[in-house]
Every structure is written in structure tokens, then in C-alpha cells.
Structure 1
Amino acid sequence: MKTHFFRPREVPELQTWAEVIIFTTLALGLPVLFNAEDPFWTQGGFSWPVLGPLLVALRYGFSKGFISILTLLVGQLLLLQSDILAPQSEFNINAMIGYTIVIMIAGEFRDVWERTNQQQTIQLEYVSDRLEKFTRQYHLISSSHDRIEQMLAGHTLSLRESLQAVRASIGQLKERRLDSAAQVIINLFVEYGALEKAGLYKVENNNIVEPPLAVIGKMTSPITSDPLILAMFEEKELVSVKSSKVYLGSSKYHIAIPLIDVNDTIYGAILVEKVQFFALKENTLTLLAVMAGHVGDLLRHEITNPIMTSEESPYFVRQVKRANKEAKRYKIPAHLLKVKTLNITNESRRLMEYLTEARRGLDIYLYDDEKQTLLILMPLTDELEKDGFITRINGWSKERTGKNLAELDIVIEQQIALPISKDAIKPLVTLHD
């Protein structure tokens, strides 16, 4: 049986009183047995029987120590009255009162110590519990961070990569209708936006149409009065729970993403009920919004050839409007260049043909072969990258013809950084003077 000798608080109450009785009985009986001539040690300088109640007071506190010393005194008085002790035995009342006070002080000291110990134990348990929770959360965040790093190490979330994936995935579809492309579209958003539970819905007259065309996870029926959905239709752009535009109350969605073309026509919407916590960053939300805009344009327009002829200039204009809109709303840099040959020769024609073949992945060209005029839309291109591109053109010209652009009478007639006003786009985007 466990005695709990060093842990008085955990000793059963019955055992406590048993120890009080035993110590008191020993303090009363042993002096009579071994020192019958002076059982109260009045002649010895110290009353050893008081040691029993003193031990009780130090172990169990004031109340039990006080009961023990009173029991001892009453027992000693009864022994004197019963004539069991020698007639010369004396009961020194002053000494007993002093010992009683000592035991009371010892018991009170023990109680104060016990209360202090309990308080410190409670504080220690609280701090230990908090430390344990903090440690668990730290390891959880650490493991999540490591998992994110491992995932992102092989997949850099970049606008350029995501837009190339959008063009490649949707451009190769035989039928570019929303219902046919739904699964491809939502897979792209899951890959680049870390969506865990989302559905792609068709939109007609700014109304969500059920059932969903494609889902990830188990989605519930959409609530058309949800503040996030209302804000999406009102603003005609991506909104999230972090957006200041959602002010009408709580929403069951984390993100609402409209598939919208450059004319602000919404063809579909991706409603996200659950997303990984690290995806609600500004750069990720911007990436998803830009992807959705390009998806909307690709669904609306059949032409996806990045090198267009003069007959396809309306689509090129729409692409410039899209880049201009993104530059204005999301601060995404873009440039528009106009390269023109003033004196058409075989060398200049060869260089212009090479430029169309060496097109960068996201650049869109509008090319007039007859007039040797080339309009270049350069999305995601800042001033430094634009200057580097012009430098490379000169380098290519020197390598292939032995002459630079000036010597071939080829000029960069326009170098325009977006955004610009809407009215200025159409006059600039022309192959003719």
C-alpha cells in the first residue's frame, strides 16, 4: 500500500486521523512506560511527550496539531486523577501552555507553507499546461511550414507560370465552353491556390446556377444572399474574407472568384469554402484574380494564337485592355511596344520574322507582314525587363544581319508603360499611321 508519507495532501482522511491517534497515544504512553517516576519530564528540562503533537502539527497543520496536544494534556490529567502515576508526579501547567503555543505556531507555519506550496503548484501546472500547448502548436506550425516549403520548393507560385498553364490547358480543349472546361479550370485553381473545398458554378444574369459544373471536396448548396457572393457581383472582382468590401456579415466562403472577361461579363464563379491558411496572402489572391480574368477571356474568345494578323486586331485590343486593367487594379507591370521598319529590305524582313519566332511565352504580337510593323504586348514586364528585351533585339540583329536596328532603319516607335486611359488604347493599338 502506498503510504504517501512525503505527500500529506494525498493521504486519505482515515489514515490522517489514524496517524494523529498513534502519535498522540505514543506521546502519552511511552513516557509512562519508560519514565514512570517523571512521565511529564518536568525535571528533565524538556517535555519529550510534546514531540508527538509537534510532529502531527508539522505534518498536518494547526487544527490536528492543536487537537493532538489537547488530547495529550487531557490524557495526562486523567492519568493523574486515576492514581496510575507515581504520587510525586507533577503537572507543570505553565510548561504545558508554552508547549501548546509552540505547537500552535508550528501548525500555523505548516499551514502557511502548505498554502504557498499549493499556490506555486497551481501556477506551475498552469505554466506547464501553457508550455505544452505552445510546444504542440509550435511543432504543428513548424511541420506545416516544412510541408509548405517542400510543396513550394517544386512549385513556385508565379503569375507568369500560372498564366502559361491557363493558356496551355484551356487552349488545347476542343470545345472551349465553361461546362467542357470546368474540371480543367478548377484543377488549375486548386494547384495554384491551394483550394481544399471549392465548386465552379455557371453564372447567368449575375445569378449562381446549380448544380456545380466541377467540385473539389464536398460542397453545400450555395447561398445567393451570402455577403461574399453579393460583394463579388457588386465589385466584379475576386473577394475574400480578408477584403474590406465584405461588410454585411459573416460568410461561409473564404474566397469568391468570378470568371470575368475584359468587358466585365461574368461567365462563372468559383466559390471556395475551405482553403489552406497560407493561401490567403495578397500575392496568392492576386494570382487567382488574374488567372480568373484570363480564363474568362479565353472562354469568351476563340482566338488564342499569340501572333495575330491585322484581321485579329480586335482581340489584340482586348488583350491590351486586360493588361491595362491588371496594371491599374493589381499594380502588375506591362508594356506595349511598336516596332516599325522604315525601309523594308530582305535583312529587315528576316529580322522581323525572327522576332515573331523568338516570342517570349506570355507576349502577344500583332504583326503586319506587308508593312513590317509589329505591336508587342508584354505582360508582367517592368521597365528593366523592357529595356533588356530591346537590348536583346539589337543583339539578335547584329548576330543575324551584322547591323543594329538603326542601321536597318527599324525603330521602336512606341514604348508605353501600362496603365493608360481606356480612350488612349485604341489609337495606340494600330498597325497604320
Structure 2
Amino acid sequence: MKTHFLRPRDVPELQIWAEVCFFTALALGLPVLFNAEDPYWTQGGFSWPVLGPLLVALRYGFSKGFISILTLLVGQLLLIQSNILDPQSEFNINAMIGYIIVVMVAGEFRDVWERTNQQQSIQLAYVSDRLEKFTRQYHLISSSHDRIEQMLAGHTLSLRESLQAVRESIGKLKERRLDSAAEVILNLFIEYGSIEKAGLYKVENDKIQEPALASVGKMSEPSNSDPLIAAMFDEKELVSLKNPKASSGDSKYHIAIPLIDVNDTIYGAILVEKVKFFALKENTLTLLAVMAGHIGDLLRHEITNPIMTREESPYFKRQVKHANKEAKRYKIPSHFLKVNALSINDESRRLMEYLTEARRGLDIYLYDNEKQVLLILMPLADELEKDGFVMRMNSWCKERTGKTLQELDIIIEQEVAFPVNKDELSKLVALHD
């Protein structure tokens, strides 16, 4: 059974007045019944009837206690006037004034305590509510984090691996047109970008063409006036809700991804209406942007062989420009090496041919067999990886020929870290002409 004894503010008002009347009546009646000769206890040193109003004041505050003590005193005077009490009973006015003051002080103390307690209760309720919300959000984030870890444990979002998958998937297609490759391309973005609802559209003259070539989820009709789409065509790069231009209007898309080549020609666009919240972080957006750029180049050019001959040099030039562009825009490191055999012989030919066979997954080579010149583009390679590759070249040379690169008169004529300025890039791509 629920009790209100320890929580006076929760007691119904009717019950409060009933208790006030009860304690006041006890204080008035018990002395008459048990000590009629001295009902005010003036001979005993302490007026016990005042305990009733005092208890009322301590429990219900100043106003109730003051009413109780006044009722007690008025009641005693009326009893004397009605001859129920001995008219000779001493009514000590000074003692009674003192008792009134004591009850008033006790009542005021209780009111101050009650206000303080109520204020602290409100603060506690606020803090408890905030703690509960924080706890729910913490468990939600923790659960989401665990799911992300579980997902990423079996699939690491590696830029190198994703670009390798892009090249392999597009290279397997019989016709590398956007319409025939649409499903493959969209599936790659779904896998690496955690996209839940998106469509791949053809682009002509910077206009989205309907219908969607491929989609996941039911897409709404695209509008070229959408701020995210407009920002994508304006900036010629991936834009998300974080983009200042896109956030200036109300867009129904989360991400707009252009399939763009190194010449800034947009062949298609992936419009994302729904994506998992953690996919909007910077490294994932960079991954999607770089993937889109590589797909744009693969769709534009028919050559996918990463080891090219002199006749294929225009494509190699475009790949060098693309690597420099990504290094500038996304801070993705890449390196360029020119390996030149000054003395052409069987040993140098053997080594150069072996170097082309030992190519790293994403590296692109331009090999001039006649002049024994090898140009190496190393996308996503930082300074440490480049130095490691040069050391391995020396090791391969020693293992294959028993001589060092220097002894074979093979030199690394150029070592360039991207990004470089436009003039340096022009000189760089002209090295093999």
C-alpha cells in the first residue's frame, strides 16, 4: 500500500486539513481530560499542548502551523469563557507568545527546506532525463559501431582494392558502354559506399537523362534544378549534403556522384537518396569520388591493359593527368618513375621485361622495348612505398643477373611525387615523346 507519510507535498489537501484539525483537537482535548487542574501545564515547566501545532508546522509548513496554534489558543480561551475549564486557570500570555514564535519558526524552516528539496528534485529529474537520453544514444551508437566493425571486419574499405575491383569488373565487359555497364557500376558503389537507395543516370550536355539505367530502391523523378545536382555539374566533382552550395537549398539527395573522365566530361551520374549515416564521412566520399573518376576514364577509353606500348602513350598521358588531379583534389599520393637502360643488352632486356611482369596491381606501365625505357605510374603510392619499390628493383636485378642496376647501366632518370604544377606536368608527360 502506498503511503504519503514521508512525502507531505503529495498528500491530498483534504487529508492535510483533516490532520491539522486532528492534532489541534488532541492538543486542545487531552489536557482537559487528563489534567483539568492545570490544562496549560504551567506548573510542569513546559506546555505540552503546543506539540500538536508544532508537529503540524514541521509537517505542513508555516501557514498550517500558525493556524493550528491560533486555533489552540482561541479554543482554550473559549473553554475558559464557557466554564469548562477552571476560570482561575492561569493563562500565561508571555509563554503563549513564545510558543507562537516557536511554531512560526518551525513552519518557516519547513517551508525553506521544502522549497530547496523541490528545486533539487527538479534538477535531479532534469539530470536523470538527460542521462537517460544520453544512455539511449550511447547504446544506439555503440550498437551501430559494433555493426560497422562487424561489416568492415569482412570487407575493408581499401581504396586500392576498390579500384582494382573497378578495373577488373569493367574490363570483363564485352561492351564498355554506360548502358551495358550500369548494373556492374552501381553494384560497385553499393558495395563500397554503403548505398541503400540510388539510381545511375545517363548525362548529356550536363543534363540528367531519364529513365535510370540502373537503380536500387524506388527512385523519384530527378530534377536538374535540384541544388545537389546543380552543384555537381557546377563543380564537376562529387558533392554531398556537406557541400556549402548543396546545403543552401532543399535537396532530396544525400550524394551526387559524377562519372567523369580526366577531361571533365561527365558521362553519367549516380544520385543517392538514402545512404547509411557512417558512409558520409570524408574517406568514404573520397573513395566514391576516385572510383567514379576511374570508371569515367575506363568508359571513355577502350584500353584497359595496364602495360602499354608506345602507340598507347596518349592513354598513359591521360592517366598521369588523372593521378595528378586526384593528388591535388583529394590529397591521394602518387608517384611517377622513368627507368632508362643506357646500355642495351640481353641482361638489361631481361630485367626490364621482368619489371613489367612484376607490376603492382594498380600501377600503369608504358614500355618502349626498342629504346628500353620504362615509364611507371604508381597511383596511391606514398614516398615509403616508392622507396620500397626501388629497393625491390635492385634486389630483382641482383637475383636475375647477379649485377646491380648501376652495373647494368640502368638508371632511374625521373622520380616525381604528385601533385605537381601544370608546367611540370607538361614536361613530365612529354618525357617519352
TM beyond 0.5? yes
Q: Residue 2 and residue 413 in structure 1: after superposition, are their counterparts in 2 closer, same or farther (change >3 A)?
A: closer
The corresponding residue for 1:215 is 215
Q: Quote the offset at 1:423 in angstroms.
A: 6.0
The corresponding residue for 1:377 is 377
Q: Quote the offset at 1:86 in angstroms.
A: 3.1
Which letter does structure 2 place at the counterpart of 1:11? V
Which letter does structure 1 place at the counterpart of 2:389? F
Q: Residue 112 and residue 431 in structure 1: after superposition, are their counterparts in 2 closer, same or farther (change >3 A)?
A: closer
Q: Residue 396 and residue 57 in structure 1: after superposition, are their counterparts in 2 closer, same or farther (change >3 A)?
A: same
Q: Residue 267 and residue 65 in structure 1: after superposition, are their counterparts in 2 closer, same or farther (change >3 A)?
A: same
Q: Quote the offset at 1:396 in angstroms.
A: 1.1
CA contact (8 A) 1:306 1:363 kept: yes
The corresponding residue for 2:263 is 263
CA contact (8 A) 2:227 2:245 kept: no
Which letter does structure 2 place at the counterpart of 1:287? L
C-alpha distance after superposition, 1:89-116 (max 9, x if no partner):
3333332232222212211111111111
Q: Specify every segment of 5 or more residues in structure 2 that has no aligned partner in the other structure, as ranges.
A: none
Q: Specify every segment of 5 or more residues in structure 1 that has no aligned partner in the other structure, as ranges.
A: none
In structure 1, how many angstroms separate the alpha carbons of the residues matched to 2:385 and 2:76? Answer: 105
Which letter does structure 1 place at the counterpart of 2:159? L
Q: Which 10-residue stretch deviates more, 416-425 or 190-199?
A: 416-425
CA contact (8 A) 1:200 1:214 kept: yes
Q: Give the number of equivalent residue pairs.
A: 433
The corresponding residue for 2:201 is 201
The corresponding residue for 1:318 is 318
Q: Quote the offset at 1:27 in angstroms.
A: 1.1
In structure 2, how many angstroms separate the alpha carbons of the residues matched to 1:250 and 1:21? Answer: 67
CA contact (8 A) 1:375 1:429 kept: no
TM-score by length of 2: 0.92
Q: Residue 343 and residue 101 in structure 1: after superposition, are their counterparts in 2 closer, same or farther (change >3 A)?
A: closer
Which letter does structure 1 place at the counterpart of 2:406? A
In structure 2, how many angstroms separate the alpha carbons of the residues matched to 1:299 and 1:76? Answer: 107
C-alpha distance after superposition, 1:110-169 (max 9, x if no partner):
111111111111111112222222222223333333333333334333321121111112
The corresponding residue for 2:26 is 26
CA contact (8 A) 2:56 2:64 kept: yes
1:397 aligns with 2:397: yes
Identity of aligned residues (%): 83
CA contact (8 A) 1:373 1:431 kept: no
In structure 1, how many angstroms separate the alpha carbons of the residues matched to 2:32 and 2:214? Answer: 96
CA contact (8 A) 2:348 2:408 kept: yes
Q: Which 10-residue stretch deviates more, 211-220 or 264-273?
A: 211-220
1:65-80 correspondence runs (5 A): 65-80=65-80
Q: Residue 383 and residue 84 in structure 1: after superposition, are their counterparts in 2 closer, same or farther (change >3 A)?
A: closer
In structure 2, how many angstroms separate the alpha carbons of the residues matched to 1:123 and 1:428? Answer: 69
CA contact (8 A) 2:81 2:87 kept: no
C-alpha distance after superposition, 1:197-246 (max 9, x if no partner):
33322211111123333334444333322222211101111122323454
The corresponding residue for 1:238 is 238
Question: Aligned-residue CA RMSD in angstroms?
Answer: 2.4
Q: Quote the offset at 1:432 in angstroms.
A: 5.9
In structure 1, how many angstroms separate the alpha carbons of the residues matched to 2:154 and 2:3? Answer: 62
CA contact (8 A) 2:241 2:247 kept: no
In structure 2, how many angstroms separate the alpha carbons of the residues matched to 1:398 and 1:87? Answer: 131
Q: Quote the offset at 1:9 in angstroms.
A: 0.9
Q: Quote the offset at 1:384 in angstroms.
A: 3.3
Q: Quote the offset at 1:425 in angstroms.
A: 5.0
The corresponding residue for 2:290 is 290
Which letter does structure 1 place at the counterpart of 2:191? E
Give 3-state SS (helix, strand or coil) of 1:375's partner. Answer: strand
In structure 2, how many angstroms separate the alpha carbons of the residues matched to 1:221 and 1:327? Answer: 35
Q: Quote the offset at 1:13 in angstroms.
A: 1.4
Give 3-state SS (helix, strand or coil) of 1:288's partner. Answer: helix
Q: Residue 298 and residue 32 in structure 1: after superposition, are their counterparts in 2 closer, same or farther (change >3 A)?
A: same
The corresponding residue for 1:152 is 152
TM-score by length of 1: 0.92
Q: Quote the offset at 1:72 in angstroms.
A: 1.6
Q: Residue 224 and residue 97 in structure 1: after superposition, are their counterparts in 2 closer, same or farther (change >3 A)?
A: same
In structure 2, how many angstroms separate the alpha carbons of the residues matched to 1:44 and 1:394? Answer: 114
Q: Quote the offset at 1:424 in angstroms.
A: 5.7
In structure 1, how many angstroms separate the alpha carbons of the residues matched to 2:428 and 2:116? Answer: 83
Give 3-state SS (helix, strand or coil) of 2:59's partner. Answer: helix
Which letter does structure 1 place at the counterpart of 2:189? F
Q: Residue 48 and residue 269 in structure 1: after superposition, are their counterparts in 2 closer, same or farther (change >3 A)?
A: same
CA contact (8 A) 1:336 1:415 kept: yes
Q: Residue 169 and residue 32 in structure 1: after superposition, are their counterparts in 2 closer, same or farther (change >3 A)?
A: same
In structure 1, how many angstroms separate the alpha carbons of the residues matched to 2:333 and 2:116? Answer: 66
Which letter does structure 1 place at the counterpart of 2:140? L
CA contact (8 A) 1:317 1:429 kept: yes
C-alpha distance after superposition, 1:28-57 (max 9, x if no partner):
111111111222223322221111111111
CA contact (8 A) 1:368 1:431 kept: no
Which letter does structure 1 place at the counterpart of 2:93? I
Q: Quote the offset at 1:376 in angstroms.
A: 1.7
Q: Which 10-residue stretch deviates more, 256-265 or 66-75?
A: 66-75
Q: Quote the offset at 1:431 in angstroms.
A: 8.2
Give 3-state SS (helix, strand or coil) of 2:271's partner. Answer: strand
1:22-421 correspondence runs (5 A): 22-246=22-246, 248-421=248-421
CA contact (8 A) 1:59 1:110 kept: yes
In structure 2, how many angstroms separate the alpha carbons of the residues matched to 1:335 and 1:9? Answer: 77
Give 3-state SS (helix, strand or coil) of 1:225's partner. Answer: coil
Q: Residue 190 and residue 85 in structure 1: after superposition, are their counterparts in 2 closer, same or farther (change >3 A)?
A: same
Which letter does structure 1 place at the counterpart of 2:133? K
Q: Residue 98 and residue 409 in structure 1: after superposition, are their counterparts in 2 closer, same or farther (change >3 A)?
A: closer
Q: Which 10-residue stretch deviates more, 402-411 or 104-113?
A: 402-411
Give 3-state SS (helix, strand or coil) of 2:6's partner. Answer: coil
Q: Which 10-residue stretch deviates more, 412-421 or 196-205?
A: 412-421
Which letter does structure 1 place at the counterpart of 2:13? E
Q: Quote the offset at 1:262 in angstroms.
A: 0.9
The corresponding residue for 1:8 is 8
